[in-house]
Structure 1
Amino acid sequence: MEEKKLKITRNLKIGALDAEGDSELLNRCFVDNGYLDRLLDVESPASIILGRTGSGKSALLYKIKSSAQKVVNLDPNDISVRFLEYSDIIQFFDALNINLDLFYKLLWRHVLTVEFLKLRYDIKSEYESKSFLDGIFSKFSRDVTKRKALEYFNEWGDRFWLDTDEQLKIITKKLETDTKSSIGAKYSEVSLTLDGAKRLSDEERCEIKQRASLVVNGLQIRKLNEVLDLLAEHSFDDPQKKFYILIDQLDEEWAGTETRVRFIRALIEEIKTFRRIKQTKIIAALRKDLLVLVFDVTRDSGFQEEKYESYILELRWSPEELERLIELRINEVFKSQYTKQQIILDDIFPKARKGGGQTSIEFIIERTLRRPRDVLQFVNESFAIASDRERVSWRSLFAAEAQYSEKRLKSLKEEWGEVYPSFDDTIEILRGLKATFTRSLIKDSRLEEVMLALYEHKNSDPCSTIVKKYYDSQGIKEADILSSMLSCLYRIGAIGVKTGAMDTYIWCYVDQASVTRGEIKRVEHMKIHKMLHRALDIITEQREIFEAVDLD
């Protein structure tokens, strides 16, 4: 029987750009680059899946959930953090500038403990919660070393079956009750609200802050330490049974930025704490730029970032792995039409032009930050341009690049909006430049135009901040401003840099994530990433070559 000719049908895609919409293809076309086994290994500390948007974090969580037997998803949107953020007692504490980090850690420890207990004992009702408690008290009631743990179970055990948001509301209410008790009859009329804090005199504020701080510092964190020890000994001691809590969507707007970063920092600390329970693992997915923000905002004296390195699993993809991903998915989406035909990339994409040179897949991958989502997006754009044809031509690839480039620029703005809210204006320093450029090619008029635009912003963007210092005569030079812009553009992946004529270009997604102030000052030669060439009207020799040859 004659095989049917290949045809790129209308609306053909090799996958959705998010793990939720891509689950069907993800199951059949998962490329395992060694990360899955490390995450499933409860003895490995690797617990924080770190990567830029589209690097495959949610896909890994999806595979863990389908591979493990005892696993639960914990969505921060369901934890009612906004309720905490706007609760009277939290606003009261914030107004008094009382550090709530210990409270946030307690919340996570309680929530994670309860989730593991529900998972281990299948607790879904008040009756099942009571049965678990009866077993604990029967075994340990005479053990004095477990006294604090049993006190905690006695206080909270009948509520273990409640939803997470209910648990947090109860704990927050207890914080308010304990605070009222602590400040005593002398301040019984004080309203524990934001307005109440504003009405306090300096003397009252000082005394109440001292008493309220004792409440936070006296939280039941020690009891929960003993609870964890008891659980490790009694409930999670079977090496054949492994239990996982998966946490995704941490980059969504489930709370204001300040609260969110402090909650995430508390979560990271608790992930480390729960390592003492050997048969359990908490796995969280986190965007790289968000982790940078968390550490920047919550950095305190004595902070050592290297202490967290063993817990972080940073996702990186090689060109070969990305090519394998494309080939697997293309075979899957064509399978229904061509059941006997194994498709290779050369069946769909154009071969390298005569005389050698770059292949079509190399062309695509060069215009990505080596992330699956970037590759999927470019291939999908190519199929859209080449619909109803038998294959993608070079002309189709070049046309797809224009659409893809605009979308990549928009995605970068969305991805880095919290760290660089003025990115829209900063990126304009590159518009119309040559693909490879030096500082001297950036005209003074262009720099001044971008600086004036940045000056208008009222935000914490480091580029806007340094521009304001310049115009406010705080000893800042134009060279310092340009260095700040270049540091931003390197960090997001828009440019690669090299410090010496004999050095090679380095990129944030291949080499080092950021460059120091000293390094960026020494940088003279820069290269604009090819994903942005079309969107920013970058002058390239390649465009002239493409236009001079037959692209079909």
Structure 2
Amino acid sequence: MATKARIGAGFTLGGEQAEADPLSEGAFVESGLYSVIANRQDPRCFVIGRTGSGKSAALQHLEEVEADRVIRISPEDLSLPYITDLQVIRFMDSLNVKLDLFWIALWKHVLLVEIIRHRYGVNSPETKQRFMATLRDRLIRQPGKQAALDYLEEFEGKFWCDTDERVREITDRFTERLGFEGGLSAAAAGFGGKLSSSDVTEQTTESRAEMADRYQRIVNETQLAKLNQMLAVLNDEILDEANFTYIVVDDLDRDWVDERLSNDLIRCLFRTVLDMQRVSNLKIVVALRSNIFQELDFGASGGQEEKFRALILEMRWTEPLLEEILNERVRVAAANSSLDARAFRDLTPQPNNTRGNPIHYMLQRTLLRPRDAIAYANQCFAAAAGKHRIAWEDIHSAERQYSANRLLALRDEWKPTYPGIDEVVMKFKGAPARMSKIELQTRLDDCMLLMTSPEFSGVRWMTELSRAMWGSSAEHSWFELYQPLLALLYRIGLVGCAVGTSAAPLFVGDDPLLVDAQSTVDRCEYFHVHRMFHKALDVTRAGDRQTT
């Protein structure tokens, strides 16, 4: 039990984001999810989850625990904006030339060189030459592998430089080749250049399809063969069990590159990681938000999506695990204050038959993500400042601000993919806690009618989701008319479904595929706005204002 010490005005359980969380490392809970990430034999390497699900915290902890074995690749350090701004890249894009093989070669080059630099401490021309001489001596009877080393010699001038300089060099060589073999002028191939009159003339005398074919052949002849030979050298000669290496790639959800090409770059990174799994004693871990992963089109480039899905680790949490996270954070935070508490329950009201368990109440108002649980707890501590422990009144008063903040976070998470999503969500303001199918349908109709407003920025995606509604056929079922939009609201965590009159609602965290099947949707009798958003959207249950 806590002593008579009072909760200080600044007492918190840490920050909501891993990079700005003072308790992230000291209070880290090594769950089964983290064990999969750190397991050298487990092939799952794509860490997929919503914002706030703990992806970055897990990778930061891996860096702390395996400090000498982890290489972090930051997309912001790769000069990718420089690449995507090149006139020749934009020109290729305008011709619909598939640049996948170039992007894959670029990723392999970056990863390969970073591993070698890390393994041998290559940071100057002298250390690079010593490494090359040693490796050539070891491969003296393996001419095929010695030939692969020639690839590294091509980049002698920049090998030890920062990643962005090496990325620029390999890109400049590629664009020079496009200019030389493809017939573009040097200005058109270069950064900031414009197509010359001769380039424009070429477009008028040669069909765009012919030009696209010509440039596609050049792209397809990129140096992947030499890079793949180097992967064999990496596997056989460079990395051994004693030098097991992790590479972590995070922050792919930031504005690090032209949005038009970001999905292509990420998809090609996934293909690169899949291919590099042939290298023993290497594990590449990529963290990515769920909504971005859903937008990747692996089929467009001939990739087999099931191969990637087999390597996915979904960051999903349970109430007991989230309570364990809160307990650990209370233990660490209390040690730096006058509070004598070893668990979150030491600072919350006692459970009772009338109001129930306060921790369960709070966690029911999360999307089962660490960030939600920490944010609600911090809001409660702010409300309870000066008291010996949190009271039920503090939990309820904190809920309104917490709910409003989570609604804003939902908007920020999904607006890059679904601009105008905040206007859609607000159509559920004042909704009853339990909506019949007819009541839900009325609100879905209102959402679709947003397209008639000139200010609505989500016309493109809303048109796609409401296509059946605006069609000429009168034979569409309820599922065909409303399921696409319902599925979106379910996937983002706003709405849940209850199959049967007395059944508890299920949300995306309970069953991600619940609303995909028509047989299930047809049996759903009631629909619920998630409790996390009740206060922000003024959703209440008649006669039960405290426990909705």
TM-score between both structures, scaled by the size of structure 1 = 0.90
Alignment partners' CA distance in 2, 1:502 and 1:398: 26
Q: How do 1:231-250 residues align onto structure 2 when only pairs under 5 Å count?
A: 231-237=234-240, 239-250=241-252
Q: How do 1:33-52 residues align onto structure 2 when only pairs under 5 Å count?
A: 33-52=31-50
The structure-2 alpha-carbon separation of the partners of 1:99 and 1:545, relative to structure 1 and needing over 3 Å to count, comes to closer
Root-mean-square deviation (CA), in Å?
A: 2.7
> Which residue of 235, 243, 254 corresponds with 2:256?
254
Alignment partners' CA distance in 2, 1:485 and 1:111: 41
Q: Is the CA contact 2:499–2:525 (under 8 Å) kept in the aligned structure 1?
A: yes
Compare 370-379 and 194-203 and name the one that shifted more.
194-203
Q: Is the CA contact 1:71–1:245 (under 8 Å) kept in the aligned structure 2?
A: yes
2:295 maps to: 293
The structure-2 alpha-carbon separation of the partners of 1:135 and 1:157, relative to structure 1 and needing over 3 Å to count, comes to farther
Alignment partners' CA distance in 1, 2:269 and 2:514: 25
Alignment partners' CA distance in 2, 1:443 and 1:210: 49
Shift in Å at residue 467 of structure 1? 4.8
Deviations, residues 155-185 of structure 1 (Å, cap 9, x unaligned): 124432121111121111111221122235x
Q: Is the CA contact 1:46–1:310 (under 8 Å) kept in the aligned structure 2?
A: yes
Deviations, residues 437-493 of structure 1 (Å, cap 9, x unaligned): 12212474x555433323443546532444578568687979555433211110001
Q: How do 1:397-416 residues align onto structure 2 when only pairs under 5 Å count?
A: 397-416=395-414
Aligned partner letter, 1:209: A
Compare 522-531 and 508-517 and name the one that shifted more.
508-517
Shift in Å at residue 300 of structure 1? 2.1
Q: Is the CA contact 1:491–1:514 (under 8 Å) kept in the aligned structure 2?
A: no
Residue-pair matches, total: 536
Q: How do 1:135-146 residues align onto structure 2 when only pairs under 5 Å count?
A: 135-141=134-140, 143-146=142-145
2:60 maps to: 62
Q: How do 1:165-244 residues align onto structure 2 when only pairs under 5 Å count?
A: 165-183=164-182, 191-192=188-189, 195=195, 200-201=203-204, 203-237=206-240, 239-244=241-246
The structure-2 alpha-carbon separation of the partners of 1:342 and 1:399, relative to structure 1 and needing over 3 Å to count, comes to closer
1:309 maps to: 309
Aligned partner letter, 2:495: I
2:435 maps to: 437
Shift in Å at residue 357 of structure 1? 5.0
Alignment partners' CA distance in 1, 2:174 and 2:52: 39
Q: Is the CA contact 1:29–1:325 (under 8 Å) kept in the aligned structure 2?
A: yes
1:377 maps to: 375
2:125 maps to: 126
**Structure 2 residue matching 1:388: 3-state secondary structure:** coil
Q: How do 1:342-381 residues align onto structure 2 when only pairs under 5 Å count?
A: 342-353=341-352, 355=353, 358-381=356-379
Deviations, residues 67-101 of structure 1 (Å, cap 9, x unaligned): 11222211101111111111111011111110001
Deviations, residues 169-216 of structure 1 (Å, cap 9, x unaligned): 1111111221122235xx769944664566612625333322211110
Deviations, residues 2-41 of structure 1 (Å, cap 9, x unaligned): x95121111211110111221x422221111123332222
In the alignment, is residue 84 of structure 1 matched against residue 87 of structure 2? no
Alignment partners' CA distance in 1, 2:535 and 2:23: 30
1:525 maps to: 526
Q: Is the CA contact 1:402–1:535 (under 8 Å) kept in the aligned structure 2?
A: yes
Shift in Å at residue 47 of structure 1? 1.2
Q: Is the CA contact 1:422–1:464 (under 8 Å) kept in the aligned structure 2?
A: no
Q: Is the CA contact 2:345–2:359 (under 8 Å) kept in the aligned structure 1?
A: no
Q: How do 1:85-100 residues align onto structure 2 when only pairs under 5 Å count?
A: 85-100=84-99
Alignment partners' CA distance in 2, 1:415 and 1:45: 28
Alignment partners' CA distance in 2, 1:31 and 1:223: 43
Compare 508-517 and 78-87 and name the one that shifted more.
508-517
Shift in Å at residue 502 of structure 1? 7.5
Shift in Å at residue 545 of structure 1? 5.1
The structure-2 alpha-carbon separation of the partners of 1:346 and 1:138, relative to structure 1 and needing over 3 Å to count, comes to closer
Shift in Å at residue 288 of structure 1? 1.1
Q: Is the CA contact 2:451–2:458 (under 8 Å) kept in the aligned structure 1?
A: no
**Structure 2 residue matching 1:160: 3-state secondary structure:** coil
Gaps of 5+ in 1: 548-552
Query: Identical aligned pairs, as a percentage?
Result: 29
Q: Is the CA contact 2:466–2:485 (under 8 Å) kept in the aligned structure 1?
A: no
Q: Is the CA contact 2:466–2:484 (under 8 Å) kept in the aligned structure 1?
A: no
Aligned partner letter, 1:261: N
The structure-2 alpha-carbon separation of the partners of 1:468 and 1:38, relative to structure 1 and needing over 3 Å to count, comes to closer
> Which residue of 366, 384, 387 corresponds with 2:385?
387
Aligned partner letter, 1:484: P
Alignment partners' CA distance in 2, 1:110 and 1:336: 46
Alignment partners' CA distance in 1, 2:483 and 2:452: 16
Q: Is the CA contact 1:413–1:424 (under 8 Å) kept in the aligned structure 2?
A: yes
